[in-house]
Structures are given as structure tokens and as C-alpha cells.
A and B are shown apart, each in its own frame.
Chain A
Amino acid sequence: MDVRSQISMVFHLDKCIGCHTCSIACKNIWTDRKGTEYMWWNNVETKPGTGYPTKWEDQEKYKGGWENVKGKLKLRSTGKAKIIFNIFHNPHMPSMNDYYEPWTYKYETLFNAPEGTDQPTALPISMVTGKYMDIEAGPNWDDDLSGSPIYAENDPNLSALTPEQKSQLFAIQRLVFFYFPRICNHCLNPACVASCPSGALYKRGEDGIVLIDQERCRGWRSCVAACPYKKSYYNWSTGKSEKCILCFPRIESGQAPACFHSCVGRIRYLGVLLYDADKIEEVAKKSDTELVEAQRSMILDPFDPEVIQAALENGIHEQVITAAQNSPVYKFVKIWKIALPPHIEFRTLPMLFYVPPLLPVMSSFNGDTIKNMGEGFFPDFDKARAPIEFFGKLFAAGNNSKIRYVLKKQMAVRTYRRAVTVGDIEMDLAKKMLREADCSVEEAEAIYKLTSLCTFNDRFVIPPAHREEAIEMLRDPLEYKQSAGFGFREEPKRGS
């Protein structure tokens, strides 16, 4: 058992209102520089929709992630042999057209325009070339456009649906959608790390954050092609790649990452998971339907004395173990089992989990609204207008029983709380539903509390980074006592 700690995340999709505040918070801090204008380390997609970059989930097109070839894990894009032949032109590299060309507006024309009969207009100009341009796409161009034949109907996840289900999904006045915010998943088996010819990408041992060493990166762009979530980006100006850093400078000082901190719907949870790193390869090779359960099985119980002992022996700090015990992510993923990984069939073992949304499923019952709930038991999820197969493809690699379990439990908790607070549902019936959904009354209360009444400190349980001890490991602090805190990474330039 090789116990490691991982800062993991849960996004509760029922609570996401699609306001893009997270994206803006991230953009303002990290990607407002030349060459990064088109990057959105955090973005919010509408599902069904094509996403950003367009159709990123379609690995026939992008060749991201891993595949299990006769018992061996191989990168789809640039394996060791393939990179030699594709070294001058990578055929699976997305180009700017797959994202969008960033633009701004020429605001001065608002003031300079000669007097006329029309309102002056600020024309869009490209942030790459500086020339006038026609805007054809943006990072959220499919926003709220469920039912659109250009966007929603090209969602790669629709391949799991029958034509009948598809036509129902997009029926006018009945169409349904939900939001899907995305950041880097900080995977346990990251394809980006495995693909880097320079060895610039790495996982931090202490918290599992995946980073690109900007000094080592040579701009091969293999990570861009290899990441199946397309969360590694090429900075065309510096010639180096960049990605979400989970705001590690904030995390190290005990603050939540900017996108988490700013989340209006309070959908985001962050906490430590302890996992067994010896199992990574074994789990990543499981068949599609086993993957969700297999990944869950490698997450360890932070209360188990054996795990605690192994963690301490591995150098994990006591306070990190305490953080793991209080982790909201552990509850959602492992105890309640209602948070699922996105597209785990890409086999990178993502450590960002989603609670699938209940609202579009429920509201679709009999094509009507929630009033059917009062009639009694669970709706027939298979008749839902947002088909269970769609969620199955997105969050369970086609294992729809996992989705059914989550939806049932959420529905039961809802019914139970309605019985408690409104009282128009019989408590016996609510408790029967809880039993049916594999949920105790205590668990239902806990789910309710962490979902609806969660405070800042409930949502974000950030382990102390102990950088001070990190320094002690490498250097004698007394030796550096009088010189700490000031220095140059590069020679200061003078004259010339």
C-alpha cells in the first residue's frame, strides 16, 4: 500500500446556475496575458452541447487519453514510438480554430467616428493579429443552446441515445439542459504527464496537483493532444504550454482556488482523498463498466488505523490526515457514492467528481413538472426526457446503474426533507424511499446539510501545505536564516 494524498474536488451540478463567475475569476487571475487570451482553465459548458474546444469529448477526433491495448495502457495520441514519426507535425493537435480566435473591440471608434445618422460601433479586432475580424465562435458559444442543430445535436454523448430518445430530448418547449463547469481534473493517471517529451509535467507528491514546469517545457505540445479533457493549452506567444494550477499559491496559504471561492451557486467542494498509488495501473486497465467502482476502491478510509499508519510512514502529515477525515469530497464520493468522475473511460482517473443533476430528470417525468413527486414512489428514470444513457455516457462510462443509484438517492433525500419541512408527504413513504435508495436517515440529513446549508469551511477543507517543513527537508534553515526572503531567479540586468 503506497498511500498518497490528493486534493480532490466535487461539483454539485444541481446547484450550478451557469453564471460563468468561476471562469471570469480564473481568467482575471491567470490567463489575461498575451498568448493565453483564448485559454479558459475553467469553463462552463451547456450540456447537451459541443463544449470547448468544440467536441472535445470526441476522441476519434482528438485522440486524447489512454486505451487498453491487449492489457497494456497506451496513449492514443503520442506514444513513445509514434512521437518520432509525428515530431514535425502532430496530426491530432487541436488548432486555434478548434477553440476560437480571441478578440477585443476597437473602442476608440466610438469616440472618433464622424457624425452621422447611425450609432458608432466598436468593431471587433483579433487579439492575435490585431486586425478586424468576424466573430465566429467563443468559449461558450453553445451557452443555453440545447436543441440547437449546430451545437446540442453534435454533442458526442448523444451517441448513447436511440433516435427516439434524441428527438424527445430536443422536442420544442420540452428541451432540457444543465451546466457542466470544467477545470483540470488533476488525474491520478494523467495522460498529459505521460506524454511530455521534456518531462516538464509532473504531479506534486504532497497534494497531487498536476503542473507544467515552465522552465522545462519546450513546447512539444504533446500534453495538449494527450489530455482527453483538453485542459492543457499551448501559449502561442511564449511557445510553452500552460494549464490549471488549482491556484496552488492560494491553496498553500489556506485559501480556496479562485473558481471555488467565487462560485455563486456554492456548487464546489474541495478536500483531501487518501488513495493507494500501487493500484493506479491496475484500476486504469479495468473494463469500462468496472471503472467507476474500481476508482472508488482505491480511495482509502482515512479513519482506518492501518491506512493512517501507512500514510504517516509515507510522509503524509498528521494534519493532512485530519483534513482527509473531514473531507467533503470523501463523503460525496466514497461514503454516499453520489459523485461520479467525468468520462472515466478515458482512463486518466480524474479526481474531480460530479454530482449528476436531478432537476432535468425529475422535471421530465411524464413530460411535466415536479408535481408528480407527490404521487409516491420513484419516477421511471428510463422514461425521463433527459435520458439516463446521456448521464451514463458522461459520468459512468456507460454503467447506467451508477447513475440510477445517484438519482434515486438524491430523490429520496429530497422527498424525505420535504416530508420533514413541508409535511405533505407521508414520513413512512419517505423513509421507505430512503431504504430503497440505500440511505439512512442520518445520511440523508448529512447529504441535505452539506448540499444546502454548507458553509465556506464545510465546502473547503484545505490541508496545511507545510512548506516550512519542505524547506527543512532540503536545506538547513539556520544556514539560510539571514538570507531568506530575497534573491534573484535571473541576473538583474543593468545598462545595455
Chain B
Amino acid sequence: MMQNATLFDYFNLFWFAILPYIALFTFFLITIQRYTKTGYSYSSLSSQFLENKIHFWGLVPFHYGIILILIGHFIGFLIPKQVLIWNSNPLRLYVIEVTAFIGGLFTLIGLVNIFIRRLTDARAKVVTSNIDWIVLSILLFQIVTGLLVAIFNSWGTQWFAASVAPYLWSVLKFNPNIAFVTPLPLTAKLHIIGAYTIVLLFPFTRLVHMLVIPNPYLWRKPQLVRWYWNRKKIRTQKSI
């Protein structure tokens, strides 16, 4: 393959066979290291207290949209065959495509509002760091390329399952087969590169907050009391 390789091939090799490993390696190493070291500081810095109105129109559509989209991507990645079977009926294909596109639009609307909020509200600006702007920009890039792919290269759920899913599996199996993705249009390629960049930046940014869920809260008793003595082996008058 490398004999008549062009510069373009080297680019492809870097973006689709090397970058994924840099991204994943960094992701796991730093994420785990940061989680164990900084524990509960591992979250997003909320600014709802400082600006409470645009917050709703930004955060809510953005999060629900992106959750829908991410779940869609994961389904395509995990069970591509079933997705292809589902799509064999055109009506079902339309339903899934339209749902995904609406999810994407929600994400875009939300993100635009988040940009407006952080740019215009003086108080929200104070708690917006440079890395926040980088995160927001790359997310915007990702959503715009994603929507462009959806508009100009239709039936993405179909070809994602047929070509991107096997590519991603080949990456995970440490045997990257970039032949699956090299024929893709430029916007789709940019979208994949954007995704790796997000994975790479993830542990260094506020994105880590998505790993935090109120897990024990849903099961625990309402009241918590901390004792400095052992309640089971309590001291009686005799032992004083």
C-alpha cells in the first residue's frame, strides 16, 4: 500500500489510523487519572445561577438533542446489522432519518443559544474559560458537519451501519481498516476527525461532567448522618 502512497494517503493514515489511538489512549489514561485524583471536582461549572433565562433555551434543547444523537450513533455502532434490517422498509428508514435530523437541529439551536448566552451575558462571560470556547467551537463544528452530511449525503443511518461501524470496530480491534472510510465525502471525514478531537480533548475539559450521574441518590435514604463513633459498637457508661 505504501509503495505508491501519495501525501493524501498519509493524511488518511494519520487521521483515521493514528489519531484514533492517540485520542483513545489519552482519553482513558487522563480520564481515569483525573477521576481518581480529583474525585468530586469532576463536573461542569454551572452558571445557571448567574444567568437563568437563555440557560433554559440553550441547555435543554442541546442536551436532549445530543443525547438522542449519541444514542443513535451508538446503536449504529453496536448493532449495525439490525439497523440495516430495520431500514429495509423505506417508511422506517424515513422515520429514523427524520428523528435523527430533528435531534441534530435541537442540538444546533441549543448550542447557538449557549454561544449567544456566553457572548452577551456579562456574568456568564466571567465564568467562561478559554477551554470552554474551544469545546463550544469544536461542538459547533461537529454539529454543522453532521447536519451537512445528513442533508447532502442522505440515508446516513444506512451507510453508517454499512461502512463506519465496521471501520470503528476495526479500530477497536487494533487492526484499523481505513479503506472503509477513505471513499467517504469530505464532510463525513471532517465529522469523524472532529469526533476524535472531542474524545482527545474530553478529559481536559468540562465534558467530563457526562460521566457523572447521581447514582447513589436514586437508591439511598433521604437523610444522611455521619457519626464519629461506631453506632454498632457504641460506648456504654461502663466503658467510659
Q: Which residues of A contact B (CB under 8 A)?
A: 73, 80, 83, 87-91, 93-97, 101, 126, 128-131, 189-190, 193-194, 196-206, 215-221, 224, 234, 236-237, 239, 280, 312-315, 317-318, 467, 469-470, 473-474
Distance in angstroms from B43 CB to nearest chain A CB is 4
Chain B interface size, under 10 / 10 to 19 / 20 to 34 / 35 or more: 35 or more
Query: Bound complex: CA of A138 vs CA of B26, how far in Å?
Result: 47
Q: Is the CB of B40 within 8 A of A218?
A: yes
A83 partner residues in chain B, CB cutoff 8 A: 214, 217
- A188 (CB) vs chain B CBs: closest residue: B223
Q: Which residues of B contact A (CB under 8 A)?
A: 39-52, 55-56, 59-60, 62-64, 122-123, 125-127, 212, 214, 216-218, 220, 222-231, 234-237, 240
Q: Is the CB of B216 within 8 A of A194?
A: no
Task: Apart from A93-B52, A317-B240, list 10 A-B contacts with CB within 8 A.
Answer: A88-B59, A89-B55, A89-B56, A89-B60, A96-B123, A101-B123, A219-B45, A220-B214, A239-B44, A312-B236
B224 partner residues in chain A, CB cutoff 8 A: 193, 196, 199, 201-203
Query: Bound complex: CA of A216 vs CA of B235, how far in Å?
Result: 29
Q: Is the CB of A315 within 8 A of B229?
A: yes
Q: Is the CB of A313 within 8 A of B123?
A: no
- A196 (CB) vs chain B CBs: closest residue: B217
A218 partner residues in chain B, CB cutoff 8 A: 40-43, 212
A315 partner residues in chain B, CB cutoff 8 A: 227, 229, 231, 234-235
Distance in angstroms from A229 CB to nearest chain B CB is 17
Distance in angstroms from B36 CB to nearest chain A CB is 13
Query: Bound complex: CA of A126 vs CA of B223, how far in Å?
Result: 38
- A312 (CB) vs chain B CBs: closest residue: B237
Distance in angstroms from A78 CB to nearest chain B CB is 10
- B224 (CB) vs chain A CBs: closest residue: A202
- B52 (CB) vs chain A CBs: closest residue: A95
Q: Is the CB of A221 within 8 A of B46?
A: yes
User: Could you write out 17 A-B pairs with CB less than 8 Å apart?
Assistant: A80-B218, A87-B214, A96-B123, A97-B52, A129-B123, A194-B222, A197-B214, A199-B216, A202-B224, A206-B228, A236-B49, A236-B50, A280-B223, A313-B236, A314-B234, A470-B229, A473-B230
Q: Is the CB of B225 within 8 A of A128?
A: no
B49 partner residues in chain A, CB cutoff 8 A: 93-96, 221, 224, 234, 236
Q: Is the CB of B222 within 8 A of A473?
A: no
Query: Bound complex: CA of A94 vs CA of B52, how far in Å?
Result: 8
Query: Bound complex: CA of A473 vs CA of B63, how far in Å?
Result: 47
Given contacts A88-B63, A97-B52, A234-B49, contact A199 B43 (CB under 8 A): no
A236 partner residues in chain B, CB cutoff 8 A: 47, 49-50, 127
Quick one: which of B44, B123, B214, B230 contacts A198, CB cutoff 8 A? B214
Q: Is the CB of A204 within 8 A of B59?
A: no
Q: Is the CB of B48 within 8 A of A194?
A: no
Q: Is the CB of B222 within 8 A of A470?
A: no
A198 partner residues in chain B, CB cutoff 8 A: 40, 214, 217
Distance in angstroms from B137 CB to nearest chain A CB is 21
A126 partner residues in chain B, CB cutoff 8 A: 122
A90 partner residues in chain B, CB cutoff 8 A: 48
- B57 (CB) vs chain A CBs: closest residue: A89
Q: Is the CB of A215 within 8 A of B39?
A: yes
Q: Is the CB of A219 within 8 A of B43?
A: yes
Query: Bound complex: CA of A469 vs CA of B214, how far in Å?
Result: 34
Q: Is the CB of B48 within 8 A of A95?
A: yes
Given contacts A236-B127, A312-B236, contact A131 B122 (CB under 8 A): yes
- A237 (CB) vs chain B CBs: closest residue: B127
Distance in angstroms from A437 CB to nearest chain B CB is 37
B62 partner residues in chain A, CB cutoff 8 A: 88
Distance in angstroms from A284 CB to nearest chain B CB is 10
Q: Is the CB of B217 within 8 A of A80?
A: yes
Query: Bound complex: CA of A91 vs CA of B55, how far in Å?
Result: 10
Quick one: which of A88, A129, A204, A314 contacts B126, CB cutoff 8 A? A129
Q: Is the CB of B217 within 8 A of A205?
A: no
